[in-house]
Amino acid sequence: MSELTVRYLPWLVVASVATSIASAYAALTLADRMRASTTVLQRTIWLSGGSIALGGGIWSMHYLGMLAVVLPVEVLYHWPTVILSALMAVAASAVVLEQISHAETTRRRLLASALLMAAGIGGMHYTGMAAMRSRAMEVYQPWGIVLAVAAAGVFAWTSLAVASRATNCTRCRTILRRTLASSLMGIGIAAMHYTAMATVHFHDMGAEPDLAHTIHVGLLGSCGVGILTAIVLLGTLAGAAFDERRITALSEAHEQLRKAHEQLSDAHNQLNSANEELRMINEELEGTQQELLRMQASLCEMTVELNELSIRDGLTGVFNRRHFDRMLTTEFRRAVRRQGPVALIMIDLDHFKHLNDTHGHQHGDHCLKEIGKMLLEVPKRGYDMVSRYGGEEFAILMPEASLESAARKAEDIRQRALDLKLPNDGNPAAGGVVSLSIGVCVLWPQVGDHPELLIHEADTALYRAKRAGRNRVEMADCETEAA
């Protein structure tokens, strides 16, 4: 058997290498899409597409490389074997893509993927070689087979290692790494094929082969294989690009929603903080308000006490002279408007100077207190007013009181003072106890009259009682009825 001369068509060689690189790029792109898939269905679809793209690309590269071989004898292909080789390439590609599409790719997984790819490419290649039907017989070199498979494995491992590092890079660096990886993988596939072809020899058997189930692939067929492969690859890349844009758009929308949610969460937290601050401020204000209310109540009590102190006599507890003067003016004017009476009782302790000289000023103060206490306990109307007029003198203002009621009240007071039995040795006329001299005046004031008129008349009656012997009640000689 004579050895046949082999030559290659350069443009088909270039086309086969380009097809191999493009197939690898499409496969790695789809592996990224598998990695980004969120459902089992999406992952299965991209696995199927990637397997067909990579397996079909390897198969197309192989047959373009086979068609680039020009032998001096006619070569036909057994199409069932051709289909089997294509299925082997697709199956091997599916296993490899499944391995490299995981989120984390270990060295062991990369090595297993490279070995599977090398085995798949080698199996597909030699199965495809077995599909050749011609007078030529192939003679293989064992070392050539090992070298071809080893070349495919080394290039596959290198390309997969480069591709696996592009998962967390920027888009630009990812594309560059993917291009480098696909170039290495495509060159590895082509290197395996052409290394194997370089170590095989064809010999003329001189006998015609069995041509059952064979087809002839000419120039048109070569172009058809290349065009069909290009269409499949372009469709695959277009689908991957569309899905990548869709995923990117969804990721951007998700990121915007996440940022919006964070902003809403921050706003909600700020509102909660502001609400908490307002609550604390409100509690402080409520506390301050309660404190102010307590202070106000305390001030009111103090005001009442101060007002009471300002109008009360500090020794006897009855109203003081200043308050008496105000009330006298008020009641006098009211009596003028109503044309009614107003009564005034003037009271003086008998021999009070002698009492102080004999028994001491402390006893004198004690007597004043007791008399003031007695005057407050005497039954009176709600608007009658007892006051200390000055020194040992007291005054009782009785608005709208009649002469009889004023006289009766004055006599009752005189008798109650005797009943107290307060010692006064300088008052023998009363049996050595404190007694009172009282002057009473009941006046019907007219327009133009002055309050001092009432005081003058009551005081005159008081001094008349003193001159008459003390311990008695005298009525003022004044007009006691309206004219």
Read off the pLDDT of each residue in 229-246 and give the average, rounded to a whole number.
56
Model confidence pTM above 0.85:
no
Query: Greater confidence, 469 or 123?
Result: 469
Q: Which of 148-152, 161-165, 445-449 has the lowest mean pLDDT?
A: 161-165
Over the stretch 80-106, which tens digit does the pLDDT of each residue have?
887 887 787 777 777 777 666 665 666
Which domains does the chain show, CATH number per domain? 7-259 (no CATH), 321-475 (3.30.70.270)
Q: Which residues contact 336 (CB under 8 A, 6 or more apart)?
A: 445, 446, 447, 449
Decide if pLDDT at 219 tops 80: no
Over the stretch 17-40, which tens digit does the pLDDT of each residue have?
787 777 777 767 766 766 666 677
Determine the Cα–Cα distance for residues 317 and 297; give it in Å rounded to an integer: 24
Over the stretch 457-476, which tens digit does the pLDDT of each residue have?
999 999 999 999 999 999 99
Rounded (to 5) percent helix, strand, coil in the chain: 65, 10, 20
What band does 247 get if pLDDT is binned at 50, 70 and 90?
Answer: low
> And the tokens for 395?
């005054």
Q: What is the mean pLDDT of the chain?
A: 79
Q: What is the pLDDT of residue 156?
A: 66
Q: Which of 128-132, 393-397, 421-425 has the lowest mean pLDDT?
A: 128-132
**Residues listed for the chain:** 483
Query: In a 3-state reduction of DSSP, which class is residue 473?
Result: strand
Decide if pLDDT at 379 tops 70: yes
Decide if pLDDT at 139 tops 80: no
Determine the Cα–Cα distance for residues 379 and 386; give it in Å rounded to an integer: 12
* Beta carbons within 10 angstroms of residue 269's beta carbon: 10
Rank 173-177, 215-219, 323-327 by mean pLDDT and report only the highest.
Answer: 323-327
Determine the Cα–Cα distance for residues 122 and 398; give it in Å rounded to an integer: 136
